[in-house]
Homo-oligomer: A and B are copies of this chain.
Amino acid sequence: MDIRQATDADFAQIWPIFRQIVAAGTTYAIDPDTDRAGARRIWMDAPRETWVAVEDGVVLGTYYIKANNAGGGAHVCNCGYMVASDAQGRGIARMMCEQSQVRAVELGFRAMQFNFVLASNVGAVGLWRKLGFEEVGRLPEAFDHPELGYVDALVMFKRLG
């Protein structure tokens, strides 16, 4: 397993992962109908960097890193992670998150913030807690989940370095 910066060519493998996760509408506050060009803007163009977790040439996971705000808020980064459905349970999200924290420090960031972790996404919440992220905010009923109805979203934060 290699975690390396994504190339333009990797987007062909990132897109089906993005599409499946976003279309489900259960974890990311992104329009479920986002098309390929929109996905490229969100995941490849807007972020500072995009990375992939690759095994034998197959992209199993991907993350982006970007400043969460500009100006006086530019020292806090934000990341998003996605793992292919058939690669779940192998610790890929954990590996990517750990690597992204190292990369964040290299890029000069002092903290990492997740703006919108669904309280219903107990796997993600538990993993981020294990990795040292604290719940610093709770947005009441901020997400309309297709099966669960309105659920809270958490803001999670970790100082780095």
Inter-chain CA distance A76–B29, complex, in Å, is 11
Q: Which residues of B contact A46 (CB under 8 A)?
A: none
Asked if A157 lies at the interface with its beta carbon under 8 angstroms from chain B, I say yes
**B30–A141 touching, CB < 8 Å:** no
> Which of A30, A73, A110, A159 gathers most chain B CB within 10 Å?
A73
Q: Which residues of B contact A74 (CB under 8 A)?
A: 29, 31, 144
Q: How far does the alpha carbon of A156 sit from the alpha carbon of B10 in the complex, in Å?
A: 39
Besides A73-B116, A73-B143, 12 more A-B contacts (Cβ < 8 Å) are A22-B71, A29-B70, A30-B71, A31-B74, A72-B144, A72-B145, A73-B153, A113-B139, A136-B137, A137-B137, A140-B157, A140-B159
